[in-house]
Structure 1
């Protein structure tokens, strides 16, 4: 099977998971079939590593051949070997002014250590509690980001009610720090801030190279703005039919079934095994 078409990169929310944040039986069976055939399955998410690992365990994706891309490309992780393959972080000299500007605008902003979400006292609110309940993580209140001694993987700005303040903040980040940072939406409520040059797409290419898998033998599925680079980088980029117009425009193909109706099973059958027959 070495050299065959076997690298499947899957977004979680809105793609592999249904609207109840669960994997459908059809999707689970298809993934088990892919792994049994010797293919690689890679969860690609903006979630922190701890949350991504917990989700992979709940999905049963812990065997050799299972990998994670967390923090929108900031970390590559081998589930079978339980080790980090690659990590890139945000310099502390960038974290502090970003937090200061978010505070000036009254925006909720958070960052991360290895195991927790980190917020300053003013952001110890329903926003962080709601977020942590979704991604299955704990949070800690720190006196100030000035107390950080380790560079974080990313920052996240949240507004569950209004997107306009997030758009304005994104534009400010890119105007002032665009040479070193990237900023984009992973969903309507979450504004991501990560090191420039990182993305799900760059992580896809890096992991495929590490695994000795040609780009043309990779398949990626996603539904949202932070999936665009991955959809464009893969040999076959598949947008979910429930995805954004932007995702559909970036993809090579669009599923006929959505995330609630075994859409990933469709991807595996049509674009993983069919491609393998042509290898």
Structure 2
């Protein structure tokens, strides 16, 4: 029996305008009324999830969410960081030095802010700050590289720039690189992935793997699904995700998440293929 649904946000839970539809809000409410936990698991930080948590009624101390692609577990009532994985300063310095040499736009992220030493500030960095509701700090690189609270490095540039980007092999032994969007290449510590977040949620609520349903659309959701007992990929999702999924849900812009929940509540987690 499914007791917890752990879901990605963008292009999974939301529509094409990154909004929660009335049907989704209603379906989540009904699922929660039947005792099913809903947990958001995103590359976003807590400020970028707060609006969704409030709309869904999940902004309570008993609820938690996963940010930074599994790197940070938050308590939803206050945004308190329950656990987090940060870059070692030496690793951060090495990666940043290489990115500066490659002349790509990037910024750093802590659990509460976006920080950059680039001037002018990149367009996609400003966009990320706006989408995630994170304050944007500007400082000299010398100061930034001494910080011990950096969860993620975001390479944020034109899609064609990222398409042609060739990363030195040594960097791939220092961190994990995930292309979450055409204009975003996320860099997190090697041991960080959304599956780590699923494990943290399972431990917090004493859940078995079979009691967890994971939903996602992007390549950074692979580990989320792998750590879940029931794996659901959105129809608009990456092929690699759909290949490992137990269920393919309708597209995110056709109330796919809501339709998944409706089917789950009707069938109690059994034989969900062919969702209407």
Residue 5 of structure 1 and its aligned partner are, at CA, apart by: 2.3
Q: Describe the SS at the equivalent of 1:102.
A: helix
Contact 1:92/1:151 (8 A) holds in 2: no
Once residues 76 and 22 of structure 1 are traced to their aligned partners in structure 2, the CA distance between those partners, rounded to angstroms, is 23
Q: Cα 1:40–1:101, aligned 2, differ >3 Å: closer, same or farther?
A: same
* Counterpart among 92, 100, 105 of residue 102 in structure 2: 105
Give TM-score, length-normalised by structure 1.
0.88
Tell me which residue corresponds to 1:269.
262
**Deviation by residue 1:205-261 (Cα, 9 ceiling, x = unmatched):** 221122111101100111111011111221111011111212211211101x21122
Contact 2:122/2:157 (8 A) holds in 1: no
Once residues 253 and 68 of structure 2 are traced to their aligned partners in structure 1, the CA distance between those partners, rounded to angstroms, is 24
The unaligned stretches of length 5 or more in structure 1 are none
Q: Cα 1:145–1:46, aligned 2, differ >3 Å: closer, same or farther?
A: farther
**Deviation by residue 1:61-107 (Cα, 9 ceiling, x = unmatched):** 21355321100001111214653221111111111121111111110
Contact 2:114/2:137 (8 A) holds in 1: yes
Contact 1:216/1:235 (8 A) holds in 2: yes
Once residues 82 and 115 of structure 1 are traced to their aligned partners in structure 2, the CA distance between those partners, rounded to angstroms, is 9
**Deviation by residue 1:125-153 (Cα, 9 ceiling, x = unmatched):** 32211222222222111111544332301
Contact 1:77/1:83 (8 A) holds in 2: yes
* Counterpart among 40, 50, 53 of residue 53 in structure 1: 50
Once residues 261 and 120 of structure 2 are traced to their aligned partners in structure 1, the CA distance between those partners, rounded to angstroms, is 41
Tell me which residue corresponds to 1:39.
36
Once residues 54 and 131 of structure 2 are traced to their aligned partners in structure 1, the CA distance between those partners, rounded to angstroms, is 16
Tell me which residue corresponds to 1:239.
233
1:109-128 aligned within 5 A: 109-122=106-119, 124-128=121-125
1:1-279 aligned within 5 A: 5-63=2-60, 66-80=63-77, 82-122=79-119, 124-147=121-144, 148-162=146-160, 163-166=162-165, 168-169=166-167, 172=168, 175-255=169-249, 257-271=250-264, 274-275=267-268
Residue 119 of structure 1 and its aligned partner are, at CA, apart by: 0.7
- Aligned Cα root-mean-square deviation (Å): 2.2
Q: Describe the SS at the equivalent of 1:19.
A: coil
Residue 176 of structure 1 and its aligned partner are, at CA, apart by: 1.1
Once residues 234 and 182 of structure 2 are traced to their aligned partners in structure 1, the CA distance between those partners, rounded to angstroms, is 17
Contact 2:176/2:190 (8 A) holds in 1: yes
The unaligned stretches of length 5 or more in structure 2 are 272-276
Give TM-score, length-normalised by structure 2.
0.89
Residue 30 of structure 1 and its aligned partner are, at CA, apart by: 0.7
Contact 1:39/1:65 (8 A) holds in 2: no
Once residues 275 and 205 of structure 1 are traced to their aligned partners in structure 2, the CA distance between those partners, rounded to angstroms, is 23
Once residues 134 and 34 of structure 2 are traced to their aligned partners in structure 1, the CA distance between those partners, rounded to angstroms, is 33
Once residues 160 and 138 of structure 1 are traced to their aligned partners in structure 2, the CA distance between those partners, rounded to angstroms, is 22
Contact 1:215/1:235 (8 A) holds in 2: yes
Q: Cα 1:188–1:48, aligned 2, differ >3 Å: closer, same or farther?
A: same
